[in-house]
Amino acid sequence: MTFREELASIKPLLESIGPYNEFPEEYNSKDAIEALLTSKVLVIGAGGLGCEILKNLALTGFKDIHVIDMDTIDISNLNRQFLFRTGDVGKSKAQVAAKFVEERIGDKQLKITPYFGKIQDKDLEYYKQFSVVICGLDSVEARRWINATLVSISESNDIIPMIDGGTEGLRGQSRVILPTISSCYECSLDLISPRTTYPVCTIANTPRLPEHCIEWASVIKWGQVFPNQKFDADNPEDVEWMYTAALSRANEFNIEGVTKSLTLGVVKNIIPAIASTNAVIAASCCNEAFKLITNSNPILDNYMTYSGDDSIFTFTFELAKKNTCSVCGVTGISIIAQNWWTLETFIEEISEKKDIQVKQPSLTTSSNYLYLRNPPHLEEITRPNLNKKLSNLINPGEEIIVTDPNLPMSLKLIVSFEGPELEPI
């Protein structure tokens, strides 16, 4: 398709303003076309969603696209990440995807710039150049990082919208985040489904599901056979052993359904990706990018869910901002701690909370270091605090600042106390 043919295909969308546009008198189709041709769009992730997003953006008329992905292509990606071929296995997803789309579109004005690496490698100035950021990620940590980064940029009055898409099997969602204006990604952490876990007594004594057998092989049997070796889900030999052990356990209890793909899904906490769901969500994300850039129609306000596992169902709603959001809120997160909790217990408890989710936290107050993981000499100095009661280290209502190397922002926790002074027996 030539550029003239491509422009002709989308021109009717730009010349006839959408029926629900709130400001029809301010809309100008020439400005819309110019914005489409000159805007810089960043796509984060070149996997199942990213491949669809890159293709859609190029066919919609965007000319300056950048893509970031830290992963290389695996043979298991080929069933749904259609920009890749067998000969691409082991290569950078971002680089292969960018080259494939450029060559297939054949438009000299189209430029897709790949970056093979982490989003954390880039500084604020890099992100400030984009008109919109579209996320096709499978990582909560990466979403939290880019969300906080864009919110920090918006504090200098540079609003860079973030469009986020995600899928789980036959379900998915897309959302539009206007930093500091709408709710941000951090506001919705408590909507994320926790990882499915199974009681140890069930998997050890009375397994009923194939997942129970796989968890038994992973949690119990592996440690017995390989006490000093960590299971590597990317090692085919380790996966084969795990599958064989789980299958043997299933046969012992007459349980059907243990397969190698299910074994890998359970041990890596993977929900199978479905190409058609990726296509639906990617289309929604790109529609929102088109509307944001051209102002031809109102944008999504601000969260759309899609369910295809029980007929087809979609629902759109406005997710409200949280005053206690660590990124865009104005107050800290209130935490009720038990009087008998040690600092170590407190860290374990907050690490599991859905609206906090930290992995390697360091904690300070305005006047005291509670526990610092780095540098090593400060970790050694603050380590004894882990065994002390939290109520002896801080005052009720005092604010604790939590930092984590996986997050670009700090979390503010306001702690109050209740319950007995001694741990219940």
Q: Which of 135, 184, 187, 201 is catalytic?
A: 201
All residues at 6 or more sequence positions from 381 whose CB lies less than 8 Å from its CB, including other chains: 369, 372
Residue 425 lies in a domain: no
The answer to whether residues 152 and 262 belong to one domain is no
Backbone phi, psi, residue 340, to 5°: -85, -5
Domain total of the chain = 3
Residue 350 Cα distances to 22, 325, 335, angstroms? 44, 15, 9
How many CB atoms within 10 Å of residue 13? 19
- Do 343 and 370 form a contact (C-beta atoms < 8 A)? yes
User: Residue 2 pLDDT more than 60?
Assistant: no
The answer to whether residues 249 and 286 belong to one domain is no
The answer to whether residues 178 and 38 belong to one domain is yes
The answer to whether residues 295 and 339 belong to one domain is no
Residue 327 lies in a domain: no
The answer to whether residues 242 and 134 belong to one domain is no
Instruction: Give the range of the structural domain holding residue 236, as residue numbers without chain letter.
Output: 200-267
Residue 424 lies in a domain: no
The answer to whether residues 114 and 261 belong to one domain is no
pLDDT digits (tens, 9 = 90+) for 196-249: 666 667 788 888 889 999 999 988 999 899 988 888 877 888 889 999 999 999
User: Residue 10 pLDDT more than 90?
Assistant: no
The answer to whether residues 122 and 184 belong to one domain is yes
pLDDT at 165: 95
Q: In what order do the strands lie in the sheet with 369-371?
A: 333-338, 411-418, 399-403, 362-364, 369-371
Residue 79 lies in a domain: yes
The answer to whether residues 177 and 204 belong to one domain is no
The answer to whether residues 102 and 206 belong to one domain is no
Residue 369 lies in a domain: yes
Share of the chain above pLDDT 90, in %: 50
pLDDT band at 178 (very low <50, low <70, confident <90, very high): very high
The answer to whether residues 257 and 277 belong to one domain is no
Sign of the torsion angle spanned by Cα atoms 95, 96, 102, 105: negative
Q: Match 């190029």 to its residue by tokens.
A: 58
The answer to whether residues 176 and 163 belong to one domain is yes
CATH number, domain with residue 185: 3.40.50.720
The answer to whether residues 298 and 366 belong to one domain is no
CATH number, domain with residue 223: 1.10.10.520
Q: What is the rounded end-to-end Cα distance, in angstroms, of the chain? A: 73
Which secondary structure element, helix H or strand E, spans residue 4, and what is its range?
A: helix 3-15
Task: Count the alpha carbons within 13 Å of 135 in the hemisphere toward its beta carbon.
Answer: 27
- 135 catalytically annotated: no
DSSP state of 219: I
Residue 325 lies in a domain: no
SS3 sequence of 78-97: CCCCCCCCHHHCCCEHHHHH
pLDDT digits (tens, 9 = 90+) for 103-154: 999 889 999 999 999 999 999 999 999 999 999 998 888 999 999 999 989 8
